[in-house]
Amino acid sequence: MAAGDVTIAAFAGSLRKGSYNRMLLRAAVELTPPGVLLQVMEIDDVPLYNADLDVDDAPPAPIKRLRDVIRSADALLIVSPENNYSVPAVTKNVIDWASTDETVLDGKPAAVMGASPGQYGTTRMQLHLRQLAAATNMLMINKPAILVARCRDKFDADGRLIDQRVRESIPQHLTALADFARRLRKTYPM
């Protein structure tokens, strides 16, 4: 990686193998702009949050891995469905585990995108996620927004994103996040 490159840790907040949000994350990997490295985290083995397991010197291996990847990245991308007008438990669980170590999410540049079969395309989930971001001090970008509505029509049978408007928006979204991370890095060098 070059000095100006940005690493973005990313996860899909769905455990379903055929998830449209996993497909959307794969599209983001495919469409990642130059100067950006998207580091996808698998979260299938992350247990439900349990404070009894959250031991500072010896957290479970999946939690240590999750925290280390997010902590070392310049930014975080959350690709999540919407469940019952809100953030699904899988997505919230990752945030809960990451946030209990104050060095992981505090001041972390972040972005969200999501796909939904409904007509609102994860709008309500994204609004609720922004409330969680405020509680954890993640610094969310606001635009461009990626709200993939009626997602069944946006992917082909192989799970490839075929909607041209969304395909053009993803690199813009990742570039906006990377630029924000660079500005923060320049303003608040570590």
Residue 19, pLDDT score: 96
Residue 54, pLDDT score: 86
The 3-class SS string of 143-155 reads: CCCEEECCHHHCE
* Spatial distance between the Cα atoms of 58 and 149, rounded to a whole number of angstroms: 41
Residue 148, pLDDT score: 97
Look up the CATH superfamily of 6-185.
Answer: Flavodoxin domain (3.40.50.360)
Would strands 75-79 and 139-140 be described as parallel, antiparallel, or unpaired? unpaired
DSSP 11: E
Q: What is the pLDDT along the chain (190 residues), one digit of tens a residue?
A: 676 799 999 999 999 999 999 999 999 999 999 999 999 999 999 999 999 998 777 899 999 999 999 999 999 999 999 999 999 999 999 999 999 998 999 999 999 999 999 999 999 999 999 999 999 999 999 999 999 999 999 999 999 999 999 999 999 999 999 999 999 987 766 5
Cα 52 from chain centroid?
Answer: 26
* Spatial distance between the Cα atoms of 185 and 165, rounded to a whole number of angstroms: 30
Collapsed DSSP state (helix, strand, coil) of residue 76:
strand
